[in-house]
Chain A
Amino acid sequence: MSMVDLWFEGLNQRTGWNFSVIYNAWERAKYINGVIIAVELAVWAFLGSMLVGGLCMLVRQSRVRPLRWLVTVYVEFFRNTPGLAQLYFLFFGIGSYFQLSTYGPSGEPPLLSPFQFVVIGLSLQYGAFVAEILRSGIEAVPRSTVEAAKSLGYNPTRALFHVILPLAFRTSLPALGNNMAQIVKSTAMAYAIAVPEALYVAHEIWTEHFNVVEMMNVVLLTYLGLMGVFTLIVKLLERWLHVPGMGR
């Protein structure tokens, strides 16, 4: 047992502040694993939402009107309903009805794990936001720039990929970073469908020891720490992609 463990155990005996998550090896391992799962959820959901949002953005550029309507319906639906309700709908609604997470008669693993349900749920929800963010980015590209590209002989597709999107992506970066922050925080919803991420493990620990106040602080500090790391990454990305003369 290390010095830190001993100190926190002593703290519990002296003051009643019970940070069991630090000195109890079993709980510590579970909590660390919970944080890793939260990070994994965030990364997968971020990639998923970028994919979904990117696809929506491309479809919106198409000339086929019903396709564009479809995207609008999707975006409005997922932007205007609560994330937790969406997750329950996917898991206990669609998941139960189509038996997507059911073990087979001789124990075959289910098609989708609760973890995958959360990734899908978050990707769909935040994909809708990414679609809107990219749209605003594209609309922020000056008309004159697009016309200049055309007069230089770019066809519409090449103008999109070589001129409009690189500029639109850079304008969108702060908003995308914001979206990333929302995703990190939303991974906590996963505890409602029994994915053992940080909040779920914290809940398990405090029902065992009733150290709610201590665990609440640990959970909040954990998310603050995670957010700090992600914010830093987004900042570095922004600096790296900065175009001299654009914006400030």
Chain B
Amino acid sequence: MTKIKLHTLLTVAVSALAILGFSNAAHADVLAKVADTGKLSVCTNVNNPPLAFLEPSGTAKGMHLDLLQDFVARLSAKVGKKVEAELVPVLPANRVQFLQQGKCDILFTSLTVTEERKKLVQFVEPYYYAAGPALLSKKAVEIARWEDIKGKPICSNQGSSWNLPLEQKYGANIVAFQSQQEVDQSLRDGRCVALVSDDSYLQARFLNDKDGVWKDFHIQNLVPFTEGPWGLAVRFDEPAFNAFTSAAIKDWNKNGTIVALAKKWGFTPAPFALKAQKEAH
């Protein structure tokens, strides 16, 4: 009787070990996987011009895609084989889960670094860009100070990191929708006095405004109350891939790639990026 029990126990223990070993194998580091398959899966938000967006022809373009192209070229050189990036479209609200669940190897979106998020994903340091909050409103509306939005409806995206500070610190009444298009439509309809988004995103919007959709609107001249750094993110158990990505970002700062691309896609380069470029030299 005892013998059988022991036997069963051993079997269970061995199979548990086997499963553990197997799952470790499945989690083998990204660099090895890329060297093996020649494919890197990348989570990106393809609905966020000019960082990443789909052209009418269906190809993805934008500042993130340019960076990604450079990144993949470096990766190809590293593993000595042509590497292809597979894009996995994500939404702001589900991107971290996608990375955690292994649906992609790296998160290439404008993910603002926060203490909460640091517990969930490995942010690659240095952070590559930064943005602050800005308000877009009709031309007739003037907001002199952040304090002036107290009690006023401000449209935003569900999952934006500006919602909490605006609500808690400045008492704004955040009206949050699921996608940027609904936020824009709500501002145009006058459902809120302004919309909040990243300053770089809003600036770029005016440069790409061929149809004059935004000609009756302007960005409020406010000093951002904070600058949120953006980080590329990988899973925790990927030290080699993390180091490789980190080296790539340092190189971008040295070569001025980030600032140049920011200008190319219509941003006023963030002070954060200019400083990083200076320090890299």
Contacts and interface: CB of A to CB of B under 8 A. Distances in A.
Interface of A: 26, 92, 95-96, 99, 101-103, 105, 107, 110, 114, 192-194, 200, 203-204, 206-210, 212
Contact of A99 (B97, B182, B189): B189
B238 to A, nearest CB: 19
Contact of B190 (A102, A114, A194): A102
Interface string B88-105: 000011001100000000
Main secondary structure of the interface of B (DSSP, over half): mixed
Given A105-B140, A194-B176, A210 B191 contact: no
Nearest to B164: A208
A110 B120 contact: no
B191 A209 contact: no
Interface of B: 92-93, 96-97, 116-117, 120, 140, 153, 158-159, 163-164, 168, 175-178, 182, 185-186, 189-193
B168 to A, nearest CB: 7
Nearest to A16: B119
B189 A204 contact: no
A200 B191 CA distance: 18
8 contacts: A95-B189, A110-B191, A192-B178, A193-B177, A194-B177, A200-B158, A209-B116, A210-B96
B117 A210 contact: yes
A99 B190 CA distance: 8
A203 B157 CA distance: 11
B97 A210 contact: yes
Q: Which 9 A-B pairs have the closest CB atoms?
A: A102-B190, A207-B159, A194-B175, A96-B189, A103-B190, A207-B93, A210-B96, A210-B120, A101-B191
A232 to B, nearest CB: 33
A200 B159 CA distance: 11
Contact of B163 (A99, A204, A206): A204
Nearest to B152: A107
Nearest to B163: A204
Contact of B97 (A95, A203, A212): A212
A96 B116 contact: no
B176 A204 contact: yes
A92 B178 CA distance: 13
A207 B153 CA distance: 20
Residue of B140, B168, B178, B193 ringed by the most chain A CB atoms within 10 A: B178
Nearest to B116: A209
Contacts of A101: 189, 191
B116 A92 contact: no
Nearest to B96: A210
B180 to A, nearest CB: 14
Given A103-B193, A210-B117, 8 more contacts: A95-B189, A96-B185, A103-B153, A114-B191, A194-B177, A206-B93, A207-B159, A212-B97
